[in-house]
Chain A
Amino acid sequence: EAQVTQNPRYLITVTGKKLTVTCSQNMNHEYMSWYRQDPGLGLRQIYYSMNVEVTDKGDVPEGYKVSRKEKRNFPLILESPSPNQTSLYFCASSLGGSNLEQYFGPGTRLTVT
């Protein structure tokens, strides 16, 4: 089944404890993105990647890192999480070229205390 997966789905952590949210797609998509969703603010892009080893900042990259060592995986890293990073996170991918439809993962709800 073609899909985007994220893990974990729910995470409660404490300020400063490094964490990684994984994202994987099995559709051989070129483009991948991370978004965070907050009430009243919609979805805002954190980072995106247009291919292996090519990543770039989105609108709200502060406090986050990403890597794209393999085409299928695009992990989101929070080196030192803070309470203002409490949010719902979505990974998404698209084939690329003229095919821009984005497929979303199920989301990761992160709480930082």
Chain B
Amino acid sequence: GENVEQHPSTLSVQEGDSAVIKCTYSDSASNYFPWYKQELGKRPQLIIDIRSNVGEKKDQRIAVTLNKTAKHFSLHITETQPEDSAVYFCAATGGSGGGADGLTFGKGTHLIIQP
């Protein structure tokens, strides 16, 4: 099955700086890579996703890059703001299970924005 590794587990950045979270996956057939933001006590919320036929996707201050050859993908947040503080999860699916087998998640990154 799929295995997703996520680093770092905790990331502290100054407000206004950029944050980068990295993930690797094991199943070369995986083709859908979402990123979720989870605030304390809330459900995970999709913030951006990318498919394997695309190398980069951007939405305002958030971008995701994908390197299929190396099997890794990254989340980039620019001009960080206090409301970006949360736990972020990467995930992968669409491999041998075709996506019906749900998402395999990384263990999460606690992003702390220092004022």
| Cβ-defined contact, B102 with A105, below 8 A | no
A interface residues, Cβ below 8 angstroms from B: 30-31, 33, 35, 40-45, 48, 50, 56, 58-59, 90, 92, 94, 96, 100-102, 104-107
| Cβ-defined contact, A105 with B101, below 8 A | no
Query: Which B residue sits closest to A56, measured CB to CB?
Result: B101
Q: How far is the CA of A94 from the CA of B104 in the complex (A)?
A: 14
Q: Determine which of B46, B94, B105 lies in contact with A43 in the assembled complex, contact meaning CB atoms within 8 Å.
A: B105
Query: Which A residue sits closest to B49, measured CB to CB?
Result: A101
| Cβ-defined contact, B49 with A31, below 8 A | no
| Cβ-defined contact, B105 with A44, below 8 A | yes
Taking CB atoms, residues of chain B closer than 8 Å to A59 are 1, 104
| Cβ-defined contact, A42 with B34, below 8 A | no
CB distance from A21 to the nearest CB of B (A): 14
- Given A31-B102, A102-B34 in contact, is the A42-B44 Cβ separation under 8 Å? no
| Cβ-defined contact, A102 with B102, below 8 A | yes
CB distance from A38 to the nearest CB of B (A): 10
Q: How far is the CA of A41 from the CA of B87 in the complex (A)?
A: 12
| Cβ-defined contact, B43 with A107, below 8 A | yes
Q: Determine which of B1, B45, B89, B100 lies in contact with A42 in the assembled complex, contact meaning CB atoms within 8 Å.
A: B89
